[in-house]
Amino acid sequence: MDEQFDNIARYLDGEQVELTDEQRRLADEIRADEASLSGALDVEMPARAMRNVRRRIADELAPPRGRRRLFYRVATSAAIAASILLATALLLRLPNPTQTNPETRHGALAAVEFIEPLQDQTDIEIALLAGDVERLEQEVLLDSGPEVEEMELESLERDVDEFWLDQAAPMEVLLPSS
């Protein structure tokens, strides 16, 4: 029986297959049933749906803009500022004068004596600036909170979608096991 159905399927797919009268009758019946359904199955697509889908495509193709762009810019600036502060702090703390060569120790001590008050002042400024950077980051995160969450959610959904696309088992899971 399977072989008969195979033949009919190949015939209906346009292959040159010899069919028996019974097979040809079945093939004609399937053709007629499909033809009678064709008009009835079609559905009018609402214009609103078409517009919405086109808008989603345009959004997907468009580069990041508006608040997202502002967020990226502020976040980048904050990261650069933090890096500069860190580099400055490291520079001011090196070298350690107790480990320097005795010949240069006097000069180094003099430099340290000169730098120390400045360093105390710098530490305070670093702390204040770091506080500002942190506050700024918090504000940006709070301001764009839902958007950030949305982006993360979108990213997760995309990952899941792509996983299904790649890993989806063949459709035989829909077929009841015989």
Partner 1 sequence: MELQPLREIIAAAQSGSAEAYDVLMDRYGRRLYGYFFRATGNHHDAEDLLGELMLRLVRRLESYDDRGRFEPWLFRIAANMVRDRIRRVKTRPRMASLSVEEDGGLSLGDKLAGDGPRVDANALAAELSEDLQRALNRLDDATRQMILLRHFGEMSFKEIANVFNAPLGTVLARVHRGLKSLREIMGSSDNG
User: In the complex, which residues of this chain contact partner 1 (CB under 8 A)?
Assistant: 1-6, 8-10, 12-14, 26, 29-30, 33-34, 36-38, 40-43, 45-46, 49-50, 52-54, 56-58, 60-61, 158, 161-162, 164-165, 168, 170-176
Q: Give residue for tokens 């360093």.
A: 119
- Comparing CB distances to partner 1, the nearer of 114 and 163 is 163
- Comparing CB distances to partner 1, the nearer of 103 and 166 is 166
Which string of DSSP letters, residue by residue, matches 79-114? HHHHHHHHHHHHHHH-S-GGGS-HHHHHHHHHHHHH
- Comparing CB distances to partner 1, the nearer of 90 and 173 is 173
**Is the CB of residue 133 less than 8 Å from the CB of residue 95?**
no
Phi and psi at residue 147, to the nearest 5°? -65, -40
Buried b (16+ CB within 10 A) or exposed e, 11-44: beeeeeeebeeebeebbeeeeeeeeeeeeeeeee
- Comparing CB distances to partner 1, the nearer of 40 and 94 is 40
Structure tokens at 136: 């700024």
Quote the least distance from Cβ 144 to partner 1, whole Å: 22
